[in-house]
Structure formats: structure tokens, C-alpha cells
């Protein structure tokens, strides 16, 4: 997969370097941005993943952010909050293992192994679809290493179709780490809008390149 995506990786890097600030003018900036900044702030201020998960308010903001990110609109339906909370907390052991990986150089393949276990056990939606909600939730919990993904942008950009699977998500995570290696000084592109983390910046570049979700 990575070997076949060299040109697309180059386009993402170029987009970040030349026009990533456009996302703040061209993308949505209502409740979805407010709750995103709120959940990232709460996660960053938590001493660890367990303290975040044990705080009911943090879980409520996590839930509200998914709603703001269209996970409870049209055909997407989140489970009732109590069921959502219990399911997310049931994955705490693997969340803790992921957090331990971030203490040094990240073993990407080990990360993907843990993400697979979590992905297959996270059931936060009433429907069977998982990739969009699970990847967004994982990004909120681990904003510095997990990229959010969706059908109309991420899957369209890399695969040209919208069919989802964990294998595709795992490849997208691998690709995000390859992109991170291609650039230095990511911090120069950070801002107070959508460009707050490197994985989200990569996602933003894909949104700009696909062009469907921006005016």
C-alpha cells in the first residue's frame, strides 16, 4: 500500500507546506470546531488515558464531539450515552497499552496490532459501520498519533471507493507515519483553528485535496 502511494504522500506534504491554512477559511467552524478543541484540551490536560476515561465529563465531551462531527446525523446513529460510555471504558486496557507506546519511538506495527483489538471491540454506533466513528474517537483519545478517517475524503483519496475495513484503516495509520517522516518542523503550521495536531493536519490536507467538503 505505502509503495503505491508515493505520489499521494507527496501531494499531502506539498499541501501542508503551501496551503494548509486554507482549511480554517474553507472548512466548517461551528460546534464541530468548538467541541474538537474542547475534547483535545481535556485530553491534553489529563494526566493519562485512564484519568480521562474515568471522568464522566470528559466522556460526555467525547460523545458530544462525535455528535458535532456528524456521527448522529443522516444514517449515522450513535448508541445511547450509557452504552457508549461502558463500551469505550471496556477498552481501557488496550488504550493504556497504546499510551505506553508513546513514551519513546513508536513501534507502528505494534500500535496497529493494538488498534485492531480496539477497533474490533468498539461498538459505539447503532449500525455495523465502524471505520469513521472509531477512527474519530481514537483520534480524540490519541490526537498526536491516530488520524481520523472518513469515506468521502480519506477512503476516496487513497482507495477511490468508500468500502471500509480495519485493513484499510491500518494502512492509513501506516501512511500517516510515513508522511510524518517526510516533514520536519510541523509546529510552524500549527494554529488556533483546525491545525492543532499533526494527524489532523494530514487529514486537513486530504480534505483540501479531495475538495468535496470545502467551499
* Tens-digit pLDDT profile for residues 182-198: 888 899 999 999 999 99
Arithmetic mean of pLDDT, 53-61: 98
Q: Who's near 114: CB < 8 A, 6+ residues apart?
A: 94, 97, 98, 101
The pLDDT of residue 184: 84
Question: What does the pLDDT average to over 108-125?
Answer: 96
Is this prediction's pTM over 0.85? yes
pLDDT at 2: 65
Residue 75 has pLDDT above 90, yes or no: no
- How much is the average pLDDT of 33-50? 97
**pLDDT (tens digit, 9 = 90+) per residue, 150-172?**
999 999 999 999 999 999 999 99
In the chain, pLDDT over 70 holds for what percent of residues? 99
**Rounded CA gap, 122 and 88, in Å?**
7
Looking at every residue in the chain, the average pLDDT score rounds to 95
Helix 131-141 with 166-182: angle, nearest 10 deg: 40
In the numeric block, which cell numbers belong to residue 151? 469515506
What are the CA-CA distances from residue 95 to residues 14, 146, 151, 176, 177 (Å)? 33, 12, 25, 19, 19
Question: Of 64-73, 101-110, 153-162, where does mean pLDDT reach its minimum?
Answer: 101-110
Amino acid at each position: 500500500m505505502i509503495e503505491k502511494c508515493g505520489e499521494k504522500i507527496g501531494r499531502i506534504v506539498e499541501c501542508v507546506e503551501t496551503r494548509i491554512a486554507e482549511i480554517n477559511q474553507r472548512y466548517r467552524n461551528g460546534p464541530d470546531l468548538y467541541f474538537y478543541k474542547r475534547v483535545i484540551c481535556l485530553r491534553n490536560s489529563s494526566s493519562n488515558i485512564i484519568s480521562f476515561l474515568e471522568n464522566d465529563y470528559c466522556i460526555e465531551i467525547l460523545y458530544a464531539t462525535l455528535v458535532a462531527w456528524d456521527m448522529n446525523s443522516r444514517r449515522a446513529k450513535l448508541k445511547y450515552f450509557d452504552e457508549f460510555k461502558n463500551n469505550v471504558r471496556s477498552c481501557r486496557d488496550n488504550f493504556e497499552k497504546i499510551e505506553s507506546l508513546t513514551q519513546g519511538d513508536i513501534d507502528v506495527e505494534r500500535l496497529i496490532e493494538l488498534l485492531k483489538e480496539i477497533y474490533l471491540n468498539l461498538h459505539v454506533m447503532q449500525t455495523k459501520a465502524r471505520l469513521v466513528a472509531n477512527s474519530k474517537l481514537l483520534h480524540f483519545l490519541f490526537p498526536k498519533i491516530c488520524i481520523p478517517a472518513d469515506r468521502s475524503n480519506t477512503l476516496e483519496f487513497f482507495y477511490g471507493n468508500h468500502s471500509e475495513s480495519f485493513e484499510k484503516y491500518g494502512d492509513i495509520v501506516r501512511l500517516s507515519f510515513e508522511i510524518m517522516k517526510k516533514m520536519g518542523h510541523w509546529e510552524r503550521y500549527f494554529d488556533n483553528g483546525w491545525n492543532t495536531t499533526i494527524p489532523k493536519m494530514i487529514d486537513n490536507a486530504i480534505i483540501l485535496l479531495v475538495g468535496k467538503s470545502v467551499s
